[in-house]
Homo-oligomer: A and B are copies of this chain.
Amino acid sequence: MRIVLDAMGSDHAPEVDVEGGVRAARRFGHEIVLVGQRQAIEAELAKHDTADLPLSIVEASQVVAMDEHPSQAVRNKPDASIVVGMNQVREGHADALVSMGNSGGVLAAAVASVGRVGRIPGVHRPALSTVFPHMDGFSFLLDIGANTDCKPEWLVQFALMGAVYARNVLGIDNPRVALLSNGEEETKGNKLVQDTRELLRQLSLNLVGNVEGKDLTRGLADVIVTDGFVGNVALKTAEGVASMILALLKNEIKSRPLAMVGGLLAKPAFKAAGRRLDYREYGGAPLLGVNGVVIMGHGRSDALAVENAIGMAITAVEGNLIETIRQDIQDAMTILSKAPKSD
């Protein structure tokens, strides 16, 4: 198996990306193809003991920055690491791609520009996903930003793809699927949620109904489906609230001498709590619906996060993610096309 790693992806690229790649090559034994500026990559590799490790470099002279307009950048930079990396997958030189870069850029490179691997046959739209930590583990949330205005049929496919990922990659036997809504009751939801729910009922998914925003942190479902606008707002609201609470606590503790002593004593507890909320423990999340395994991580990732993201890509390839999605989507579309229309 060969896994392509976008060596120029993270905020601290190529340092942490290359280190993560080296660790993954050592841990998993599969070949890691580092794509990016050769000199910079070689300088990073020299910091590690890479003797006998299955590592290779593919040159890509350009980089898509975090603040660039994704599809424009990808169009204007045919030699960008993410484009060259995607080409490796498309042309069959590699089994999966991992990137900590601009997620819009990864999406554009996958489906909208040169080097694109395109969509899995039958898939309407690819979806960006994330893991959302809760008290006892995490839920898998999609879409978080690839598609702002969605049709019910798209959300149905997000649910199907999310369920396949949960089963084949996360190892959850019969994943509970829910729609994100403004209330748990069946009567709640906007038109999109209600129409999607009608369609999902006809399929054999383990549909547990609607969950609310507060349920994102309660572990009521394994796969939570929403459109990319709402998913993005929910995810960023969560990030904002988490940062604010920790900042507020820090401010208040700092302004009280006794509390500051307390804060120091409690520090390991803060750290442990922080780890539970830390995306890096989860590595990355897939871009689902594209015709290749694509795992994206956070720009702020460290080497451990990169290593874990590569691990997820390997599990996805071994778990036959793409072919299972293709088959499940096809089966579902057959069922829905035969069902009597309610409107």
Residues of B within 8 A of A235 (CB): 213
Pairwise interchain contact B268-A240, C-beta atoms closer than 8 A: no
Q: Are B245 and A270 in contact (CB under 8 A)?
A: no
Asked whether any CB of chain B lies closer than 8 Å to the CB of A249, the reply is yes
Interface string of A210-225 (1 = CB under 8 A from B): 0011111110000000
Task: List residues of A (155-191) whose CB comes within 8 Å of B's CBs.
Answer: 180-183, 188-191
Given contacts A216-B240, A239-B214, A245-B242, contact A265 B270 (CB under 8 A): no
Q: Is the CB of A182 within 8 A of B232?
A: yes
| With known contacts A190-B149, A230-B233, A233-B234, A270–B252 Cβ distance under 8 A | yes
The residues in A between 270 and 310 inclusive whose CB is less than 8 angstroms from any CB of B are: 270, 272-273, 276-277
A135 contacts B248, C-beta separation under 8 Å: yes
Q: Which of A181, A188, A246, A269 has the most chain B CB atoms inside 10 A of its CB? A: A269
Contact size class for A? 35 or more
Number of identical monomers bound together in the oligomeric complex = 2
- Does chain B have a CB within 8 A of A253? yes
- Contact partner of A191 among B149, B181, B249, CB < 8 A? B149
Q: Which residue of B182, B240, B256 is within 8 Å of A145 (Cβ)?
A: B182
Which interface residue of A228, A237, A243, A253 has the most chain B CB atoms within 10 A?
A: A237
In the complex, which residues of chain B have a beta carbon less than 8 angstroms from the beta carbon of A236?
Answer: 212-215
With beta carbons under 8 angstroms apart, the residue of B233, B244, B249, B252 that contacts A233 is: B233
Query: Which chain B residues lie closer than 8 Å to A261 at the CB level?
Result: 262, 265
Say yes or no: is A43 at the interface (Cβ < 8 Å to chain B): no
Residue A241 lies at the interface, judged by CB distance under 8 Å to chain B: yes
Nearest to A228 among chain B residues (CB) is: B182
Q: Which of the residues B238, B240, B255 comes within 8 Å of A215, measured between beta carbons?
A: B240
Say whether B273 contacts A268, CB under 8 Å: no
Please give, as numbers and ranges, the residues of chain B lying within 8 Å of A135 by CB-CB distance. Answer: 244, 247-248
Shortest distance in angstroms between A228's beta carbon and chain B's nearest beta carbon?
7
**Interchain CB contact under 8 A, A240 and B256:** no
Contact yes or no, A213 B233, CB < 8 A:
yes
Q: Are the C-beta atoms of A229 and B263 separated by less than 8 Å? A: no
Asked if A277 and B245 sit within 8 Å, CB to CB, the answer is yes
- CB neighbours (8 Å) of A182 from chain B are 145, 148, 228-229, 232-233
> Measuring CB to CB, which residues of chain A are less than 8 angstroms from any residue of chain B?
133-135, 145, 148-149, 180-183, 188-191, 193, 212-218, 226-230, 232-249, 251-253, 255-256, 258-259, 261-270, 272-273, 276-277
* Additional A-B contacts beyond A212-B232, A261-B262, A263-B266 (17; CB < 8 A): A145-B182, A148-B190, A182-B229, A190-B227, A193-B229, A212-B236, A213-B235, A213-B237, A214-B236, A214-B237, A229-B230, A230-B233, A245-B273, A252-B272, A256-B269, A262-B264, A262-B267
